[in-house]
Amino acid sequence: MGWQAFLISIQVTVVATVMVVIVGTAAGLLLARVRFPGIHVFEAVLMLPLVLPPSVVGYYLLRFFGAGGPIEGLFGVNIVFTWVAAVFASAIVALPLMVQAARTAIRGVDPVLENAARTLGDSEPAVFFRVTLPLARRGLIAGTVLSAARALGEFGATLMVAGNIPGSTQTLPLFVYDAVQNQDYGVANLVVALLTGMGLVSFIIIGRLDPARNK
Amino acid sequence: MILERMAPRATRARDDAGHVGLRLMLVLALLGVLATSFFVASCGDTAATDDPNSATNGDPVEIVISAAADLSPVLEKLAPLFEQESGVILKTNLGSTGQLMEQIAAGAKVDVFLAASTSAIDQLEEKDLLVPGSSRIYGRGRLVMWTREESPLSVRTLEDLVGSDVSRISIANPDHAPYGKAAREALESAGLWDQLQSKIVPGENVRQAFQFADTGNVDVGLVALSLVVKAGGTYALVPQELHKPIDQALAIIASSTHQSEAEQFVAFLTGDVGREILQEYGFVLPEEE
């Protein structure tokens, strides 16, 4: 049972992190390099999951993906109570961390270098992939690790929108919840130790990526 | 030269700003300490009025009822009637019987426990956590298959759940919720449990299982009759022979500091008004059999 929860957690975390890295980096680039009206509102909306209660995020997701929601109306699929819903729950709560990390990392890249590439004839995508991205990589990797750690730890919104179905949507955090409810403290301790360890490792990796500490 | 003249003033301004910032922080810290002490003091006050002896000083007594989730519509109707008659305020804590039992065993401050099973009450009795002789059965619940009004499905028997038009079925958590346990037993007796495994979505308690079906996120809910009687939609009773009877028992918790009010509530629930409401929501009363 615990093994299944572990595999589901990995699956959900990997897919959610890939989504978050792509969307978060794009949003970070936009916020760092482009001025447009309503930029603060845009940023505030992206940051919102960081402060909203998990139940509120879960409720939004239910209305959006659930029966009678826009996704069901447009595509005729209802992902509620499937692992895909767990992916979206994890991705939404992890996104603000990636956006912040990407924005800071990209802002730290000297625009002079980007402009130099442009004067040498590089197209915009080439500038991004050959200059901006390599120079911002430390911050982006740190953001990726942090997002993955947050996605792995998602509980509240997942419980609401994906349910707690053993072998299908039960991730490690939900598994711990069930184990405690059923007083299986042995397994609970094991998984708690595993999740704590993974959290610690994430922050150690992020710490080592900080150039200031790596001289 | 202009720069030279500007510089000292700029520094002074920054210093001033620094002082203002420091002063502001001190003021805020002081306010914080004050607010905290007032908060703590006021908490102390309410704790004092919670004392049973000072209850006669005008403040109404509050009792905490931990109730199985299937009772939510019953208590919604009964609570205002009881409060009006007795002047006692009811605080209800709804959940699955198993979860509520754990809370009480862990020392939760509860006055009356309305379980959806007899086994939870028996287990607490063994641990000497109940007022001796206060436990009794107050009703027998029924398990139903419920579909919402908009649903095109017609579910009359458990076998209908096998059809490909039913993709998800919600039940209460079979590990700690009596209606979930009954649902599992019924499906096992019908030989459908393994076959339906992939369709089953367990809720935390029977009310959440109902909510899953009510919002249309599952097709059929195997839930308590009491929840659906007045909720619209269509339901079919699950044959009672397929699962152990859902006899629901209650008891007064030994640690209750409002035993007489707790007794008053139990008398109200098992009296004429309570019995009528329980019946209205589909419960079979103990003496009716």
- Per-residue pLDDT of A73-114, as tens digits, reads 999 888 999 999 999 999 999 999 999 999 999 999 999 999
Q: Is the pLDDT of residue B24 over 90?
A: no
Asked if A165 and B200 come within 8 Å (Cβ–Cβ), the reply is: yes
State the amino acid at position A70 in one-letter form. Answer: P
* B140-168 residue pLDDT tens: 999 999 999 999 998 999 999 999 999 99
State the amino acid at position B44 in one-letter form. Answer: G
Mean pLDDT of the A202-213 span: 86
Q: Between A179 and B117, name the one with better pLDDT.
A: B117
Q: Which residues of A touch B (CB under 8 A)?
A: 62, 66-68, 78, 80-81, 163-165, 168, 178, 181-183
pLDDT of residue B33: 73
CATH of region B59-140+246-288:
3.40.190.10
Of the listed ranges A44-48, A153-157, B17-21, B36-40, the least confidently predicted one is B17-21
Topology of the domain comprising B143-242 = D-Maltodextrin-Binding Protein; domain 2 (3.40.190)
Nearest CA in chain A to B168: A81
pLDDT of residue B6: 43
What distance in Å separates residue B176's CA from the closest CA in chain A? Answer: 8
* A17-51 residue pLDDT tens: 999 999 999 999 999 999 999 999 999 999 999 99
Tell me how far apart the alpha carbons of residues A60 and A57 are, in angstroms, rounded to a whole number: 5
Does an H or E element contain B91, and which?
A: strand B89-95
What is the number of other CB atoms lying within 10 angstroms of the CB of residue A183?
A: 11
Q: How many CB pairs under 8 A join A and B?
A: 35
Asked if A165 and B202 come within 8 Å (Cβ–Cβ), the reply is: yes
**Distance (Å) of CA B189 to CA A161, B62, B159, B173, B238:** 31, 44, 12, 18, 12
The domain spans of chain B are 59-140+246-288, 143-242
pLDDT band at A134 (very low <50, low <70, confident <90, very high): very high
* B177-214 residue pLDDT tens: 999 999 999 999 999 999 999 999 999 999 999 999 99
Say whether A5 sits in a helix, a strand or coil. helix
Find residues 98-117 of chain B whose CB sits inside 8 Å of chain A. 98-99, 102
CATH number at residue A98: 1.10.3720.10
Structural domain of A44: 3-214
Structurally, chain A folds into a number of domains equal to: 1
Mean pLDDT of the B215-230 span: 95
Strands B143-147 and B234-237: antiparallel
Using CB atoms, which residue from A62, A165, A181 is nearest to B99?
A: A181
What are the φ and ψ backbone dihedral angles of B96, each rounded to 5 degrees? -80, 150
pLDDT of residue A184: 82
pLDDT of residue B227: 96
Residue numbers in B near A188 (CB within 8 A): none
Q: What is the pTM of this model?
A: 0.77
Q: Which residue is listed with tokens 């895909």? A: A84
What distance in Å separates residue B203's CA from the closest CA in chain A? Answer: 7
Say whether B249 sits in a helix, a strand or coil. strand
* A65-75 residue pLDDT tens: 998 899 989 99
Specify whether the CB–CB gap between B181 and B174 falls below 8 A: yes
What ipTM describes this predicted complex? 0.71
pLDDT of residue A1: 62
pLDDT band at A7 (very low <50, low <70, confident <90, very high): very high
* B68-93 residue pLDDT tens: 999 999 999 999 999 999 999 999 99
